[in-house]
Amino acid sequence: ADLLTKALQTQHGIESKAYVGMRYWYPFTEQALDDIRRDNINALVILPLYPHFSTTTSGSSLRVLQEEFSKRMDWYGPQRMRHTVVPSWYEREGYLKSMSTLINTELETFSKEELDMGKGERHILFSAHGVPNAVIEAGDPYKGHIEECVKLITQYLPGEDEGVYVHLSYQSRVGPIEWLRPYTDFVLPELGEQGVKNIVVVPISFVSDNLETLEEIGIEYRELAEESGIVNWRRCDALNTDPMFINDMADMVMDALNEPMQSVTE
């Protein structure tokens, strides 16, 4: 958040303040709104840190904002504060180039010995956070956003003619119901059976490293991969504070201010 305000100042000469509001942990969205009201803000860009839209993520947070705004139109109405929402942004060139740069960096770390072991092949597994199938069947665009995003990033990566193969799977399912497939913990053993030795796993749903990238991918899936014969493992970092990513976020905020996209009620 601090780096974003600095980028807005450096790139666009805009004095701004960033507020962090979380759905399930501190600072909660309601706390961020209290701060916004206290600071007398009159223009607000609502920027979910989910590149891809889903009713279970960005949609859930926007519903909270919609409820809070409707309670206090004297504070959040257009006469007092102008706001706009960026619902998804996975197709932005800056985001795509930031992701591909991190992935290409990991691809370059395989040694000649590792490449020889894998018959010259390197595999990329995009592991996205899953959602229940019922959510997608109800019209949620998340699956389509993820699939399109992977295709767009792949354009900036080496191709199969260079021995690089791309896969997509979904992680973090819970409960007995059917979630988006293929599951990451099924795909890794399948790749091992196919003789894959070199892999880069990319957490495609997250822009910040967290338990699901550091532990689920970095520890649990790595152990599963190695048990399956995939001996040369790489985990791509999330974007975190990548400068190209932060700079593009600043551009995104300016785009939203200049051409408002939608309100929380849309």
The pLDDT tens digits of the residues spanning 181-232 come to: 999 999 999 999 999 999 999 999 999 999 999 999 999 999 999 999 999 9
Instruction: Read off the pTM.
Output: 0.95
For 76-218, list the strands marked E by DSSP: 82-85, 122-129, 164-171, 198-203
- Asked if the model's pLDDT at residue 180 lies above 80, the reply is yes
| Whole-angstrom distance, CA of residue 257 vs CA of residue 45 | 7
pLDDT at 266 (0 to 100):
67
DSSP state of 213: I
Within 72-141, residue ranges assigned H as helices are 73-76, 93-107, 112-117, 133-137
